[in-house]
Amino acid sequence: MSNFAALLGGLGAVFLGFGLVQLVIWMFQPITHPGVLWAHMGLGCVLLLVSVGMSLDSLRDRVRSGEGQRATRYGASALLSAVLGLGVLAGLAFLAERYSTRFDWSEDRVHTLSDQTHRVLGTLEGPLRLTALSDTFEESGFRGLLERYAYASDRVALEFADPNSRPDLVEAFGLQEADLRRGVIRVAYGEGVVDVMDLGEEGVTNAIVKLTRSGENTVCFSRGHNERVVAGEGAEGPLGMARAASALRNETYSVEEVLLAQTGMVPSRCDALVVAGPTRPLLDIEHEALNGFLEAGGRLMVLLDPRANTDLAGDLASWGVNVGQDVVFDRSLALFGRATSPFAAEYALDHPITAEFAETTLFHMARSLTPNARLADATRLVETGEASWAETDLAGWAEGGQAAYDVDVDRLGPVALGVAGSPVMGAAPAGEASARMVVFGDSDFATNELFDGFLNRDLFVNSVAWLLGETEHIGVRPHRARASRFQLSGAEFAWLRTLSLFVLPESIAILGVLAWWSRRNASG
């Protein structure tokens, strides 16, 4: 074979090989430029035929010789190995397309649906349709999210539509141009539909919950005793609880404020009552209202800070939770060395509220809690570390600014900061209690300042969901992605794939053939 024929043969093999690779990919998904495939195949075949035609005489002589026979055997073996290798790759590609498996190796698993979403999808009793209206560029931002829904449940059907090419859908949905600028996801289940403008997992999942639940529960927050504010002046400040109220609304709960001194009882519309950080004593009529609420099977959450000038401690003791007159210190597991801002060290993994918690929660200026015999199914939800303690000498600490563990009067950790259970009211024997109660020795963890940090949000919302018996609302909420994801449009991804799979490898292969040919010429 002449030197020039060898060059043509090498280049032809490169073009033909990459053409076959493109053909295999085309068998499983469309390619952007099919003309490139046929150009590779045609050019490769032409170059190989020209190379063989230019070298017929030398090939005939080599075939007749012993060296040619050995080369033929080796060549046939190499060709057979290449064919088998391509067959294996094609089989693996077919199996991967037929039996897909997803992996999420991101740091915070931001490309995996949350446990709460999986639980909600598991409650579907009929088909759920997700229709995304957006242009191609915007669609790439949430296509992967909706595909994860379809992957998680075979009851989910997806449809992606460009508003410019589907004006019938825009008209049928009654959407305005402003609604389509960032994209809209219509969630349809049964006879109900919800349009989602918040194009994230939380927005889509909350829409599904709204369509699948039978009614709306109301969470009431007491006021009148300097409690944390959920609406109005101060609610948006660092010490308010507007974010907590918003989180409950996102879970499709209705949120209201009630003044027990005015009503004389907990209104019947309140499915759960939250008493968040009171600092003033209650009236007798309000004590009676809370007691009557629990006797009737009510659901109560109390967030009680240390050194608060309130008289709820006696009520809580009669309902099953002893409240310590102390402040919890933890110098080994606290925020930036602030011993009075402890992190949670242990959770009750056998309780629905904290069963899925793998990260910490943060409290600020908390008091100890101890369940007593009046609380059925008592669970210490959150505990501090073993090096923590409950400081009882608050006067000495306030005067000198120093606190140290006193083995005679202080309680050594772990110290419970959250307790859940069913208070046994009146003469009812343990085990027959229908009321539910959750008590935390701190209200700061649910304020705007700390609410979105760590798992504070999940702890608060899960507690409300458990009180109401709604297990589909319990879980760790969707992960929030860090600035680590690079978004590409469909066309940009296609060019990147072409560059990485064909242009660069083929260029390297052509350079390799040229280098081999030049060295062959030099040695000749």
What would the two tokens of residue 59 be?
């090939």
Q: Which residue has the higher pLDDT, 454 or 111?
A: 454
Position 359 pLDDT exceeds 80: yes
Point out which residues pair with 132 in neighbouring strands: 160, 185
The Cα–Cα gap between 146 and 182 comes to: 16
The bridge status of strand 272-276 relative to strand 218-222 is parallel
Residue 497, token pair as written in the block? 């794939």
Q: Are 175 and 195 in contact (CB under 8 A)?
A: yes
Confidence at residue 492, expressed as pLDDT on a 0 to 100 scale: 65
CA distance 201 to 145: 7
So what's the pLDDT on residue 444?
Answer: 95
DSSP annotation string for 462-514: HHHHHHHT-GGG-SPPPPPPPTT-----HHHHHHHHHIIIIIHHHHHHHHHHH
Element (H, E) at 322: strand 321-323
Beta-strand runs (E) in 324-407: 327-329, 334-335, 338-342, 346-347, 369-371, 375-383, 389-391
16-20: average pLDDT: 77
Name the packing angle between helices 201-212 and 136-152 (round to 10°).
50
Characterize the bridge pairing of strands 272-276 and 299-303: parallel
Q: Which residues pair with 439 in a beta bridge?
A: 302, 419
pLDDT higher than threshold 60 for residue 449: yes
Closest CA to 315 of 323, 326, 307: 323
Answer yes or no: are the C-beta atoms of 131 and 188 closer than 8 Å: yes
pLDDT bin (cut points 50, 70, 90) of residue 146 is: confident
- Band (pLDDT 50/70/90 cuts) for residue 482 is very low
pLDDT at 432 exceeding the cut of 50: no
| Better-predicted residue by pLDDT, 517 or 129 | 129
Nearest CA among 351, 410, 397, 411 for reference residue 378: 351
Sketch the domain layout of the chain as residue ranges. Answer: 3-64+487-523, 115-206, 215-473
Measured in degrees and rounded to the nearest 5, phi and psi for residue 327 equal -130, 135
Rg (CA), the chain: 34
Decide yes or no: CATH 3.40.30.10 for domain 115-206. yes
**226-248: per-residue pLDDT in tens?**
999 999 888 999 999 999 999 89
CB 310 within 8 A of CB 448: no
Mean pLDDT, range 61-75, rounded to an integer: 63
The CATH class, in words, for 215-473 is alpha beta
Percent residues over pLDDT 90 in the chain: 35
Angstrom CA distances, 459 to 2, 190, 344, 405, 464, stand at 78, 32, 11, 29, 9
Which of 20-24, 70-74, 184-188, 478-482 reaches the highest mean pLDDT?
184-188
Residue 2 has pLDDT above 90, yes or no: no
pLDDT beyond 60 at 285: yes
DSSP 3-state of 520? helix
For residue 185, what are the β-bridge partners?
132, 196
Give the separation between CA 29 and CA 39, rounded to whole angstroms.
Answer: 19
Work out the mean pLDDT of the chain and round it to a whole number. Answer: 81
Arithmetic mean of pLDDT, 464-483: 71
For residue 104, count other CB atoms closer than 10 A to its CB. 12
Predicted confidence band at 402 (pLDDT cuts at 50, 70, 90)? Answer: confident
Identify whether the C-beta of residue 400 lies closer than 8 Å to the C-beta of residue 371. Answer: no
**How is residue 249 written in tokens?**
């609304």
**Preceding amide of 478 cis, omega within 30:** no
Lowest average pLDDT, out of 121-125, 153-157, 233-237, 477-481, goes to: 477-481
Q: Are 400 and 384 contacting, i.e. CB atoms less than 8 angstroms apart? A: no
Is 268 buried (19+), middle (13-18) or exposed (0-12) by CB count in 10 A?
exposed
Tokens 């994230």 belong to 200
pLDDT the model gives residue 74: 67
Q: Is the pLDDT of residue 328 over 90?
A: yes
Q: Give the residue ranges of DSSP H helices in 124-217.
A: 136-152, 167-173, 177-180, 201-212
pTM over 0.75: no
SS3 category, 314: helix
Q: Give 76's contacts (C-beta < 8 A, 6+ positions apart).
A: none
Residue 195 forms beta bridges with which residues? 186
138 pLDDT tier (thresholds 50, 70, 90) = low
Closest by CA to 464, choosing from 294, 287, 275, 290, is 275
